[in-house]
Amino acid sequence: MACHWYRLGTKGGPNEESDLMKSSHAKSFWLVLIVLLAVAIASAGPQTQKKESTAHALAYPAPRWPSYLKKPKSVEEILPHARDLVRNKAGFGGNSPGLGLGLLQPGEEVLIVPDTTAEDFVVEALLKALSERSVQAHIVPNYTLVNVSKQDAEQIRLKTEIRSAEEGFMEAKYYWIERVFAHPEVPKEWLKQKNPGLYDALYPKRDEMTPELLAAWKRLSNESVGAAIRDYLQQHPKIKGVYWGHPGGAFYARTMSPLESKYLGRCSFTNSWEVVSQVSSFPADLWQLIEKKAIAMVTTDVDKVEVTDPEGTNVSWAVSEEMARRWVRGIYWRGHLLMYPDSATGQYGQDFDNYPKNYPEWIDRSPNAKANGVIAGTNGSGGFWPRMEIHLKDGKIAEVKGGGRYGDVIREFQNYPHIQDTTYPHYDNPGYWNLWEVALGTNPKYFRNPTDFYGGGTAGVYCLTYERYRSGAFHWGLGNELGHDPGSLGTPKKWKEFAEKLNLPDGHDFHIQNYFITYKVHLRTSGKWVTIVDRGHLTSLDDPDVRAMAAKYGDPDKLLSEDWIPDIPGINVAGSYEEYSRDPWIYANARMQRILVGDFDFNAPNK
């Protein structure tokens, strides 16, 4: 299989400076002075220009795309990959368990709940591969469970999910307003009165639904489908468990309470790109060892964290001994390590050594972490938008710069009634706009999925969520969130009731993703810094034990290399970051179009 670095044919680059130097010999003394003055001015210019030169100096990893990926068109083509998938014992988990189909034993039954995005020939191949292992699969789509037609379910999907990564700002509507508020009509009406133009951009006529479709959409909610799955499992007690939901989805397992232990994992494997990728065959024990080595670097001895990225992210926070103990206890979600104390608390943490069991003790959220600095980027889970900066002071949003309409929504809702002065349960300070999520991907084989990039729906609402699970990729999220109420592994009803009563959001959103982060922790006892991620590379991939285990499966250099690294002008390819960041979709879409026709300019040997 082949995986190459590629190089775009962008005009300009390091030779330009030497050309100027050659031509300067023919210039007058005064022209030389003018050139020197221009250089001096440039050195004091915009921050983004400074980042470009720094990025080149630090030699960020060159772009890559898994060129072995070829979209299959038949059961016969995909069946060998499906056989690998159904033997793999690990899968993405995140905030719910992630157990691979390979854990199913001959004679067992399993429930698989796809949606309208499932590719029929992929499902057929999975059924065949499972039957070869003597595993009986019940395929029951989510819309069937709640008595909605497939045609209506697909109409609803198109009206409630982002159409392509070009419309990244629509995450603010499709997820935050419509899914995080108990009564979305309240913030909708407020926004309509405060900023009619922004409201019209978020609520185009194409998304209007009939009363019948609105009722059907409510039946397709996670809570409704989760309850229907629980009922189905109770009616079919022989079924071991269920695969359901998107890789970027919500807390699926808790919606099935009290049968949350029967949740086995997400159902993203009905997408052909995923099945033919090396994600589906990546060794389970190797993935788990990579994660074990990574979380071992976050100890109770950590007293400070620093995070930087060439797009402009520069964030740090202090960690007390008591906070470190809570953080370590809740840091583990499979494929999605929780690299900020607030992300890891307010829940029953997942026990790495007894996965997917939860620890019996609820982890208190308070006192909260107090991050300071800037988070900057040009895309989130939903898609792309003009470069945005989120300025943090003591863990809260202090200022939002740029971001186009995405940034406009955050700025507007800084003044939403009671969103700044209400103290949520388990928080030690008032207000909603806290940094909650800092998550780290851990599998080197995840990539930018073309289906989702153009709104195919495999990742649900989002278009760029699949890629954030690649090792070294970071995912930031803003706004208060709670995994569990104390005393329950189910949906946090008390938390949600609190937010509903005040018409406030009950979860986070507004994601930003960074791909070249350096993440370091400072140790209290020794005074040393430990680098967990170095310019987008997860350092546990280089651990001797990890490499030794990888060698049992093949060449560790190939197996542990990142299959996909994005190209960002001014950072890891020639060009102007400032120009790119004004409308990153233009560049990213052109790149994806070339990928889909196999048009690459590679500069590395075959994988």
CA-based radius of gyration for the chain: 24
The conformation of residue 262, written as its DSSP 8-state character, comes to G
CA dihedral of 414, 418, 422, 427, whole degrees rounded to 10? -40
Q: Which helix (H) or strand (E) holds 41?
A: helix 29-43
Contact 463, 451 (CB under 8 A): no
Quote the pTM value.
Answer: 0.89
Of the listed ranges 1-10, 218-227, 442-451, the least confidently predicted one is 1-10
Domain membership of residue 16 (yes or no) is: no
Helices within 331-428 (DSSP H only): 341-344, 404-412
Confidence of residue 385 (pLDDT cuts 50, 70, 90): very high
SS3 of 434, please? strand
Confidence of residue 29 (pLDDT cuts 50, 70, 90): very low
Dump pLDDT digits (tens) for 54-91.
444 469 999 999 988 889 999 999 999 999 999 999 88
Q: Please determine, for residue 467, whether its predicted confidence score (pLDDT) is greater than 70.
A: yes
Are residue 240 and residue 353 in the same domain, yes or no? Answer: no
Domain membership of residue 548 (yes or no) is: no
Instruction: Provide the residue type at 91 as one letter.
Output: G
Overall number of domains in the chain: 2
Domain stops at, among 276, 306, 324 = 276
What would the mean pLDDT of 485-500 be, rounded to a whole number? 96
Q: Please determine, for residue 396, whether its predicted confidence score (pLDDT) is greater than 80.
A: yes
Confidence of residue 601 (pLDDT cuts 50, 70, 90): low
Domain membership of residue 162 (yes or no) is: no
Interatomic CA distance for residues 249 and 236, integer angstroms = 25
Q: Return the pLDDT at 93.
A: 77
Are residue 461 and residue 403 in the same domain, yes or no? Answer: yes
Dump pLDDT digits (tens) for 534-552.
999 999 999 999 999 999 9
Q: Please determine, for residue 607, whether its predicted confidence score (pLDDT) is greater than 90.
A: no
- Measured between alpha carbons, how far is residue 526 from residues 282, 523, 529, 543 in Å? 36, 6, 9, 21
Interatomic CA distance for residues 157 and 153, integer angstroms = 6
List, in sequence order, every residue forming a beta bridge with 569; answer none if it has no partner: 573
Q: Work out the number of other CB atoms within 10 angstroms of the CB of residue 45.
A: 10
Domain membership of residue 166 (yes or no) is: no
Q: Please determine, for residue 164, whether its predicted confidence score (pLDDT) is greater than 90.
A: yes
Domain stops at, among 235, 251, 276 = 276
Interatomic CA distance for residues 323 and 6, integer angstroms = 43
Domain membership of residue 564 (yes or no) is: no
Interatomic CA distance for residues 10 and 7, integer angstroms = 9
Dump pLDDT digits (tens) for 499-508.
999 999 999 9
> For residue 238, what is the domain's CATH number?
3.40.50.2300
- Measured between alpha carbons, how far is residue 519 from residues 225, 227, 532, 536 in Å? 38, 40, 6, 9
Are residue 352 and residue 370 in the same domain, yes or no? Answer: yes
Backbone angles phi, psi at 423, to 5 degrees: -95, 115
Q: Return the pLDDT at 8.
A: 35
Contact 384, 165 (CB under 8 A): yes
Interatomic CA distance for residues 477 and 377, integer angstroms = 12
Q: Please determine, for residue 604, whether its predicted confidence score (pLDDT) is greater than 60.
A: no
Interatomic CA distance for residues 25 and 21, integer angstroms = 7
Of the listed ranges 27-31, 93-97, 197-201, 215-219, the least confidently predicted one is 27-31
Are residue 295 and residue 321 in the same domain, yes or no? Answer: yes
Domain membership of residue 40 (yes or no) is: no
Domain membership of residue 553 (yes or no) is: no
Are residue 516 and residue 367 in the same domain, yes or no? Answer: yes
CA nearest neighbour of 264 among 243, 247, 238: 243
Q: Please determine, for residue 20, whether its predicted confidence score (pLDDT) is greater than 50.
A: no
Interatomic CA distance for residues 210 and 231, integer angstroms = 29
Are residue 419 and residue 291 in the same domain, yes or no? Answer: yes
Are residue 271 and residue 364 in the same domain, yes or no? Answer: no
CA nearest neighbour of 248 among 482, 593, 513: 513
Q: Across all residues in the chain, what is the average pLDDT?
A: 89
SS3 of 259, please? coil
Q: CB-based contacts of 68: which residues, under 8 Å, 6+ apart?
A: 1, 2, 3, 278, 607
Are residue 247 and residue 323 in the same domain, yes or no? Answer: no
Are residue 243 and residue 317 in the same domain, yes or no? Answer: no
Q: Return the pLDDT at 247.
A: 82
Q: Please determine, for residue 490, whether its predicted confidence score (pLDDT) is greater than 60.
A: yes
Share of the chain above pLDDT 90, in %: 83
Are residue 260 and residue 310 in the same domain, yes or no? Answer: no
Backbone angles phi, psi at 38, to 5 degrees: -60, -40
Confidence of residue 11 (pLDDT cuts 50, 70, 90): very low
Domain membership of residue 209 (yes or no) is: no
Distance of CA 441 to the CA centre of its chain: 8
Q: Return the pLDDT at 511.
A: 97
What would the mean pLDDT of 283-295 be, rounded to a whole number? 97
Q: Which helix (H) or strand (E) holds 330?
A: helix 321-330
Domain stops at, among 276, 301, 323 = 276
Q: What share of the chain is helix, strand, coil (3-state, %, to 5)?
A: 40, 15, 40
More confident: 23 or 407: 407
What would the mean pLDDT of 158-180 be, rounded to a whole number? 96
Q: Return the pLDDT at 344.
A: 98
Distance of CA 109 to the CA centre of its chain: 31
Dump pLDDT digits (tens) for 306-365.
999 999 999 999 999 999 999 999 999 999 999 999 999 999 999 999 999 999 999 999
Q: Please determine, for residue 194, whether its predicted confidence score (pLDDT) is greater than 90.
A: yes
Angle between helices 284-295 and 544-551 (to 10 degrees): 180
Confidence of residue 23 (pLDDT cuts 50, 70, 90): very low
CA nearest neighbour of 291 among 556, 555, 472: 472
The conformation of residue 254, written as its DSSP 8-state character, comes to G
Are residue 402 and residue 498 in the same domain, yes or no? Answer: yes
Of the listed ranges 106-115, 128-137, 195-204, 246-255, the least confidently predicted one is 246-255
What would the mean pLDDT of 198-204 be, rounded to a whole number? 98
Q: Which domain holds residue 117?
A: 75-146+220-276
What are the structure tokens assigned to 286, written together? 């190797």
CA angle 477, 380, 208 (to 5 degrees): 100
More confident: 4 or 180: 180
Q: Which helix (H) or strand (E) holds 122?
A: helix 120-132
Are residue 447 and residue 329 in the same domain, yes or no? Answer: yes
SS3 of 389, please? strand
Confidence of residue 210 (pLDDT cuts 50, 70, 90): very high
Q: Please determine, for residue 460, whether its predicted confidence score (pLDDT) is greater than 60.
A: yes
Q: Return the pLDDT at 358.
A: 94
DSSP strand pairing (384-393 vs 396-402): antiparallel
Contact 484, 362 (CB under 8 A): yes
Q: Please determine, for residue 530, whether its predicted confidence score (pLDDT) is greater than 80.
A: yes
Confidence of residue 32 (pLDDT cuts 50, 70, 90): very low
